[in-house]
Amino acid sequence: MNPFSRTFHPDEANQAFTVGKLLETGHYVYNPTDHHGPTLYYAAAPLQKAFGHSDCATLDGNLLRATPLVFAALTLVFAALACKRLVGKAILPILPLATLPCLFFYATDFIQETLLGCFLMAGFYFAVRYVQTTAPDRRSGALAASSRLKPGTWAIFLGIALGLAAATKETCVLSFAAAALALLPLLLVKRQQAPLSRAVRPELRRFALPPHVSQHVVLFFVSAAATTLFLYADLGRDFSGVQSLLAAPLAYWHRAGGSAAASAGAAWHVHPWHWYFTRCFTAENGGAAFLAGAFAILAVLRFVRRRFTPATTFAVLYPVILLALYSAIPYKTPWCMLTVLEAMAVACGILAFTQTPDDDAGDRASRIGMLLLAVLSAEQLLMCQTIARDPDAAKIPWNYAHASPQARELAEAADKVLQTNADGFLAVALPPENTWPFPWYNRANEKRTGYWTTFEGLEDLAKRGEKPLAVIVPAEEGHLVQPLFPHLKNTKRFEMRPKVRVRIFW
């Protein structure tokens, strides 16, 4: 099955409608209780316009999903560029990333995580270039002439990349915190001149502060802040989004704890600290157990042989810290693991291919690392093929809180009824968390559909003498419909999502 044909997830459908509103009004207003940063919407809208889609009713689902696919490809490009600078090879080190089942699944999921991963990977590459252009040569002590661009330029690029990440999803702060914590031991070791190994001491000189570091820091923060604020301010047209951004930390503090007041359905996603390990780090159906195992083995090999460099140290610490931060938050969803697993996959490549002055390119540990990388990539590729065969399968760990394929069948049934009378309308009375993705599949009839969150809305309709052509309600409330609307003689059950059943009457 084509991954593009996967049933739209409720979150995808919600994001799609935001793109439709952006096309219709030309504006995006940030709401921290319901949506995320604007980059996904601004990236998707031009592609829709290019193919003649200008409102919700005409949105093309395949084009929407092509947007994150482009950024998934860019993630691979930035990872390859970073690995080329760090280990001298571009393709082989990123094979674990290129075959990552989690990335394969979410690359065609219209949510923010794929874009967030891309911008973070871009930031990693720009950070590598910045460090290398400011690193003194090991022999002469002069700055390395490894780039035509000045360090300040790479600092600006780094700021823009992380500014885009901040304008994509609020969870970027966890990635920033993990990166800072992963860098802290390196900076402390440099300050104390602690000899970790013969290979590490000269490498730590790469973290010596450049002569104009204060200027670079200013350039970085100015470019990051300008990028973020410009996007949240609706491209500089409406600064109410910036005010909402300032209020976002409090909203996300409550959401992280699972407060229903902070986000509809937030309590659904409250899980124990070990939930990511039991759901996402499985050994089948696209889980990350093999990746985690390879990562641990490669890290242990480095530790036992004392062959850590700043790059390998950061590569090991960053995903571990980021996983710990996500695990500590009660609110958990599998797609949050995408950036963790991307970092872990790239770390495997860096650990396997990094050579220190004490290394022998042909030694046993190096051969073990490269063989492990090959086996991991092959195993992940098989998992991707399994996902592609049935992307709607509930057994896929990344397919979480997903919609049933019957959701689109329900929309088709409603459409057939509406076609029988051009003046009639559809009444939908479902809790908000059980309504999506129906509005997406019913978007062509949006103007002929009324949505209510409780059954009382239908009772008000009946009191006013209005007679809808069709009514959709939770299955357990089905017995209440025909006493209100005796003209609705037919009924059929559908599954909106696993264990969530609805009935349509017509």
Q: Which residues contact residue 339 at a Cβ distance below 8 angstroms, ignoring those fewer than 6 apart?
A: 113, 116, 117, 120, 175, 322
* Predicted pLDDT at 383: 92
Q: Return per-residue pLDDT of the chain as tens, 506 residues.
A: 566 788 999 999 999 999 999 999 998 888 777 678 899 999 999 999 999 999 898 999 999 999 999 999 999 999 999 999 999 999 999 999 999 999 999 999 999 999 999 999 999 999 999 988 886 544 333 344 456 788 899 999 999 999 999 999 989 999 999 999 999 887 776 555 444 444 444 444 444 455 578 889 999 999 999 999 999 998 888 887 777 777 767 666 666 655 544 455 566 788 999 999 999 998 888 899 999 999 999 999 888 777 778 888 999 999 999 999 999 999 899 999 999 999 999 999 999 988 766 665 556 667 788 889 999 999 999 999 999 988 888 899 999 988 889 999 999 999 999 999 988 999 999 998 889 999 999 999 999 999 999 999 999 999 999 999 999 999 999 999 999 999 999 999 999 988 899 999 99
Q: How far is Cα 301 from Cα 9, in angstroms, rounded to an integer?
A: 41
Residue with tokens 């730590």: 204
* Predicted pLDDT at 193: 46
- How many Cβ atoms from other residues are within 10 Å of residue 469's Cβ? 20
Helix pair angle (310-328, 337-353), 10° resolution: 160
The alpha carbon of 497 is separated from its chain's Cα centroid by a whole number of angstroms, namely 22
Q: How far is Cα 114 from Cα 76, in angstroms, rounded to an integer?
A: 11
* Predicted pLDDT at 141: 37
Q: How far is Cα 399 from Cα 40, in angstroms, rounded to an integer?
A: 20
What contacts 24+ positions apart, CB below 8 Å, involve 381-387?
A: 381/99, 383/101, 383/284, 383/285, 383/286, 383/287, 384/99, 384/101, 384/104, 384/286, 386/285, 386/286, 387/3, 387/101, 387/104, 387/105, 387/285, 387/286
Q: How far is Cα 347 from Cα 83, in angstroms, rounded to an integer?
A: 10
Q: DSSP secondary-structure letter at 479?
A: G
Residue 132: half-sphere exposure toward Cβ, Cα within 13 Å: 18
* Predicted pLDDT at 262: 47
Q: How far is Cα 130 from Cα 212, in angstroms, rounded to an integer?
A: 13
CB 110 within 8 A of CB 67: yes
Q: Would you call the peptide bond into 437 cis, given omega within 30 degrees of 0 as the criterion? A: yes
* Predicted pLDDT at 293: 94
User: Position 19: which residue type?
Assistant: V
* Predicted pLDDT at 258: 54
* Predicted pLDDT at 200: 43
449-452 and 426-429 beta bridge pairing: parallel
What contacts 24+ positions apart, CB below 8 Å, involve 247-252?
A: 247/32, 248/32, 248/170, 251/32, 251/33, 252/32, 252/170
User: Position 28: which residue type?
Assistant: Y
* Predicted pLDDT at 350: 94
